[in-house]
Amino acid sequence: MFKQVTLAVLIASTTLTLGGCASNLQGDTYSREDARTPQVVRMGTIESLRPVKIEGTKTPIGAGAGAAVGGIAGSGIGGGKGSYVAAVIGAVAGGLLGAATEEGLTRTQGVEITVKEDSGTTRSYVQAVSEGEVFKVGDRVRITSVNGTTRVAH
């Protein structure tokens, strides 16, 4: 019974932790460091749009949490040395599953925006799809850059 409760608590905390790892890649989200920092602004016209997937995070948190859960689950199988072997196998399998789960949970839908800037330069930008921001070919857009991060917005 104790192992089942511990396993349930670990699964719940892993899910909450992974949700907190997702970084926001939308064009309307700024870090605290970006706030009140002057930005370079360029103007341009959208030439093309392409849907893309932005891969999820790959931190040690997913693998570590999965290994802990798998190790505890595996240790409940068998007895004696068999329990230790099952715990190791469970930890390895849990680590792999945890890493894959983290990447899948933090993956997001993005858009590649190709813009012909007023300077004549054509550049492509990738950012997460924002709910309130719908781009169309031919739209005039602002391209803002601050601290190495560039965003496209109307």
Give the domain CATH number at 50. Answer: 2.40.50
| pLDDT given at position 23 | 54
Residues 14 and 74 in one domain: yes
| pLDDT given at position 152 | 96
Domain of residue 153 covers 31-55+107-154
| pLDDT given at position 108 | 86
Please tell me the total count of domains within the chain. Answer: 2
Residues 85 and 147 in one domain: no
Residues 113 and 140 in one domain: yes
Burial 27-47 (b: 16+ CB within 10 A, else e): beebeeeeeeeeeeebebebe
Contact between 146 and 38 (Cβ < 8 Å):
yes
Residues 63 and 119 in one domain: no
| pLDDT given at position 18 | 45
Residues 122 and 62 in one domain: no
Residues 88 and 19 in one domain: yes
| pLDDT given at position 138 | 98
- Identify the residue whose tokens are 């004696």: 80
| pLDDT given at position 25 | 66
Give every residue of the chain whose pLDDT is below 70, as ranges: 1-25
Residues 60 and 116 in one domain: no
Identify the domain boundary among 66, 88, 106: 106
